[in-house]
Homo-oligomer: A and B are copies of this chain.
């Protein structure tokens, strides 16, 4: 995981693969303006460097039966590093918790959760989350509707920055 110097082509590759992770290498090569072999080599390098963590199909969770999406703000009794790590480890083990971020401010963690239905989530909330040691407070908010959900990062912002620096 060495720091890699990226050029214009690398950034284009990342942007294209973020937009369509299943694009063939020849198509990708065509789009970024080089031939297939060096393009594949660049992709491999980006993967090995950790800049590309992986590729994932974006599945429609609602149609799959996960009707409920919830954000949970969690406050802990103790913010000692041991306690923080312990809580994070718990989160990693709970399948319904998809994301766990430690925050500044009054709330210690924000969790993004999914569940097949409300009762499944309630069960998780009361049975797992609220019974976890050191959890002081949990405030949950149901997602009424999703307005935007773009994976990844805005490459156009990056390009602007680069051109300003250059």
Contact = CB atoms under 8 A, between A and B. Distances in A.
A92 B148 contact: yes
A18 B95 contact: no
A103 B113 CA distance: 13
Copies of this protein in the complex: 2
Interface stretch (A31-39, A63-71, A130-138): A63-71
Interface residues of A, number: 65
Interface of A: 3, 14, 17-22, 49-61, 63-66, 69, 71, 88, 91-92, 95-105, 107, 109-110, 114, 116, 139, 141-154, 156-158, 161
17 contacts: A14-B59, A21-B22, A21-B56, A21-B57, A55-B55, A58-B152, A59-B153, A64-B153, A65-B161, A71-B103, A98-B149, A98-B152, A99-B146, A100-B149, A101-B147, A103-B142, A105-B141
